[in-house]
Chains A and B, each alone.
Chain A
């Protein structure tokens, strides 16, 4: 095998795949652009909320006890105050949901403040109806309005809801039985927020009256319910450490695995396409007059490896950049990053071998589908194992599956990136096992490749492939 020919083939393979507009835009520019556009998209969706409803809520209070509380609760000033407060909570949650530096927290806070200024909330006029009001009359009026205008019209006069409160809703009539409840009649297609506001208001008010009527101090109950908890700590060999959050237990292992999958799959997929193309173009015999099948296959596999590798480099840098931006680069270990690249090489070689074998065996892309099905299924396996492996990175299942090529690299990277990484000897052994598997896969591919390239006609099935392996 001549290195100059291998590198020549690899060079063409890489250039014809990666140096095209389609690849650069599709694989590199798009994800970067989406990453840059994300904040803008979030901002736009925040702005694009539906207009708030305006209208009347009738309270048919048969208990003659709750309606003043509801009136107060749903008064415009109180509704506004609660919405502002809710935004304050959102701000706090957003700032603390993922680990961030102080600068980023402030930025996110400012952005949410800006958004809260433009927020619109439901504007409600609450009208208590006496206990002797006929609810059917109110319903009939609402139906008339709906027939005339359809949806809520933004007019304070329009009836949005009728609340029918039971007589025993806030005060038991009979000690043995429980409290009564309420029912709401709604105009169709109200915003979820409006409905929530009304129902929550009624519920809150009834509860409030129950406390009073039962002689319980409401504030005291609130205090009793409130239990404060300081951030959990982990006691490790090095001492106390902040307990791992969702980002370390889920996001980093998952991202590492998907990154690995995308990079090796992309390279493999391109290898399949170019091999089938060379074969259906009949250019393959011209090439074979200049280099041997092995030089061609090796060159092609290496060329596409660099395609996958460039994807991996770009994407992993995006990830690292995001972590640096969040000032939480300590969440990922350098060894994990190195292992992603090591496992990529191993996983890629196995899948590339399969793709080269399939590509050389068929005459056109369409015929590749049936042979591809088992490979695609194989690629799905790491997804199925994601949850069990993440939950228990060192369970029997996780350990065993991380030793079975070709899914082994994907499982192992999840274990390595998890917050309970396997011992180093296991990582070493997995690399060794996969290295042996790579040799076997390449050997198989080489046999099929040599025979398949010049075979035209009926697409082979698995049995013919095995026959070719014996033949070569």
Chain B
């Protein structure tokens, strides 16, 4: 399969600050990739380089088989993180303008704009000025502007920020639809669970470096914490009884239930069975690693216990803030 985007050893600095350091990347056509990482990690810089808005200081880059995105701009749809619209322009006129800038013909453009507006439940706004729309509505209009010309590669920088849950789901479905039609999708987010819901492949960027590049399944396997969540009848008070079950390494109470870490080489299925045999349970399930856990593990690995704890707390707080802002 040919590559939609490939990067080798790409590096970008702003003055003395290194924004992106030696990133290698290869995104096959038709894939749906998530770029994750905290704010300021280098996601936007990487995307801007793919878009040829910024140029790498070093390294090779190719987009849709061309040396630079400039040669294939009309085949790329881009929703920047710093998105804006012409406030005084009417929604319909703005989308027509963007469509024509992207090389679409005037003929057939209007029905296409109307169809897209209809798809995002904004059928009646095309005569309104952009500034009259709410922020979420503007964002949907901006999304249309990026996919209107039916691009082969869709790059969305933080597409979900600022949307309510209903619109978030709408947008997610639209992105899925495009991907099912064979389009390559790259999107970035600093909210990890959004990537989990959408992507089949995740690239994690931290402090300008790529720290993870794998499919979600592989990541889950690799970072399997070998842990279970159990809710014994009788509550957390029975943690001691749990800890003596064969194969259990140690038990920690978390939020009214127990997290059970297993010994090396123990089959989780077997351990679940032993636990159920030992006492009656409300719930026993395998703990699935979240991207957040994976990320925190990668970032904190190599740091000493106390530092790691502090960093973990900070990162969690960051993520919670982000999610609260969204909801």
**Residues of chain A having any CB pair with chain B under 8 Å:** 4-5, 8-9, 12, 16, 278, 281-292, 454, 456
Contacts and interface: CB of A to CB of B under 8 A. Distances in A.
B101 A8 contact: yes
Contacts of A281: 84-87
18 contacts: A5-B101, A16-B86, A16-B89, A281-B85, A281-B86, A282-B80, A282-B84, A283-B84, A283-B86, A285-B82, A286-B146, A289-B77, A289-B78, A289-B80, A290-B101, A292-B73, A454-B48, A454-B53
Given A16-B88, A290-B73, A291-B73, A285 B100 contact: no
B182 interface: no
Interface string B44-74: 0000100101100000000000000010011
Given A290-B74, A454-B53, 17 more contacts: A16-B86, A281-B85, A281-B86, A282-B83, A282-B84, A283-B83, A283-B85, A284-B84, A286-B79, A286-B80, A286-B83, A286-B98, A286-B146, A288-B53, A289-B53, A292-B73, A454-B48
A9 B101 contact: yes
A108 B54 CA distance: 68
Given A8-B97, A8-B101, A290-B98, A285 B88 contact: no
Contact of A12 (B84, B97, B145): B97
A283 B98 CA distance: 11
Nearest to A20: B88
Interface residues of B, number: 29
Contacts of B83: 282-283, 285-286
B76 interface: yes
Interface in B273-293: none
Q: What are the 6 tightest A-B residue pairs by CB atom distance, in nearest-first order? A: A283-B84, A282-B84, A289-B78, A285-B80, A281-B84, A290-B101
A23 B312 CA distance: 57
A4 B106 CA distance: 12
Contacts of A291: 73, 101
B322 to A, nearest CB: 20
A291 B89 CA distance: 19
A454 B54 contact: yes
A239 to B, nearest CB: 60
Most-contacted residue by chain B among A289, A290, A292, A456 (CB, 10 A): A289
Contacts of B53: 285, 288-289, 454
Contact of A286 (B76, B87, B142): B142
B158 to A, nearest CB: 12
Contacts of A282: 80, 82-84
Contacts of B78: 286, 289
Nearest to B73: A290
A284 B48 CA distance: 13
Most-contacted residue by chain B among A278, A291, A456 (CB, 10 A): A291
A444 B124 CA distance: 45
A286 B73 contact: no
B291 to A, nearest CB: 27
A319 to B, nearest CB: 33
A292 B70 contact: yes
A281 B88 CA distance: 11
B84 A289 contact: no
A324 B185 CA distance: 66
B210 interface: no
Given A5-B101, A16-B86, A454-B53, A286 B70 contact: no
A8 B100 contact: yes
B103 interface: yes
Most-contacted residue by chain A among B51, B76, B103 (CB, 10 A): B103
B102 interface: yes
Nearest to B146: A289
A286 B145 contact: yes
B162 to A, nearest CB: 13
Interface string B131-161: 0000000000010011000000000000000
A429 B102 CA distance: 42
A456 B70 CA distance: 23
Nearest to B80: A285
Contacts of B100: 8
Contacts of A286: 78-80, 83-85, 98, 142, 145-146
B113 to A, nearest CB: 15
B107 to A, nearest CB: 15
Contacts of A285: 53, 80, 82-84
B96 to A, nearest CB: 10
Contacts of A283: 83-86
B51 A289 contact: yes
A453 B74 CA distance: 21
Contacts of A16: 86, 88-89
A16 B86 CA distance: 10
Nearest to B89: A16
A289 B84 CA distance: 12
Contacts of B145: 286
Contacts of A292: 70, 73
Contacts of A9: 101
A149 B178 CA distance: 91
A211 to B, nearest CB: 77
Contacts of A289: 51, 53, 73, 76-78, 80, 146
A218 B76 CA distance: 97
A12 B83 CA distance: 19
Contacts of A284: 84
Contacts of B88: 16
Contact of A4 (B48, B84, B103, B142): B103
A219 B67 CA distance: 99
B185 to A, nearest CB: 15
Most-contacted residue by chain B among A284, A290, A291, A292 (CB, 10 A): A290
Contacts of A290: 73-74, 98, 101-102
Interface string B94-116: 00011011110000000000000
A45 to B, nearest CB: 40
A320 B310 CA distance: 79
Most-contacted residue by chain A among B76, B80, B85, B98 (CB, 10 A): B80
Nearest to A279: B84
Nearest to B87: A281
A285 B158 CA distance: 14
